[in-house]
């Protein structure tokens, strides 16, 4: 399950029909205050209900939060070792292996 997206309205300008908003993931490594503010026009928002307004702000922020996630540096301690081409578990002990996250891929059935 993906983490929630947080947003914080920093300022509102009803005259120009825009607001400044900060976004981040709920499990972001820094407080939301440390993230960049974005100018959002009212024309990109749905004011028909509070749920619609929140969802339209979330819609704008989803891409921003995803980019923040993709731009986070990889810690040196988390860098993977060389590729391992083995079915012997001992070859994996103490090594970091990097694999892509693909929730759409089917798993192989294992008969017990």
The domain tally of the chain equals: 1
Q: Domain for residue 48, yes or no?
A: yes
Please, which pLDDT band fits residue 64 given cuts at 50, 70 and 90? very high
Using the Cα atoms of residue 63, residue 69, residue 72 and residue 76 in order, give the sign of their dihedral: negative
pLDDT at 2 over 80: no
pLDDT above 90 as % of the chain: 51
Ramachandran area for residue 94 (φ above 0: left; ψ -120 to 50: alpha; else beta): left
Rounded to whole angstroms, the Cα distance separating 67 from 24 reads 10
pLDDT above 70 as % of the chain: 88
Q: Domain for residue 39, yes or no?
A: yes
Q: Domain for residue 84, yes or no?
A: no
Query: How many helical (H) and strand (E) elements, i.e. helices and strands, does the chain have?
Result: 1, 3
List, in sequence order, every beta strand (DSSP E) within 1-112.
Answer: 5-13, 18-25, 37-41
Q: Domain for residue 45, yes or no?
A: yes
Domain with 37 in it: 5-71
Rounded to whole angstroms, the Cα distance separating 7 from 65 reads 10
Please, which pLDDT band fits residue 19 given cuts at 50, 70 and 90? very high
Using the Cα atoms of residue 71, residue 72, residue 75 and residue 80 in order, give the sign of their dihedral: negative
């Amino acid at each position: 399950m993906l983490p929630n997206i947080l947003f914080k309205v920093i300022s509102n300008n009803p005259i120009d029909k825009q607001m400044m908003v900060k976004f981040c993931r709920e499990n972001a490594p820094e407080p939301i205050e440390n993230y960049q503010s974005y100018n959002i026009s009212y024309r990109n928002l749905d004011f028909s209900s509070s749920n619609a307004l929140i969802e339209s702000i979330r819609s704008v922020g989803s891409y921003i939060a995803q980019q923040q996630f993709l731009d986070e540096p990889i810690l040196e301690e988390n860098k993977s070792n060389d590729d391992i081409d083995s079915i012997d578990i001992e070859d994996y002990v103490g090594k970091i292996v990097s694999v892509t996250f693909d929730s759409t891929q089917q798993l192989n059935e294992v008969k017990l």
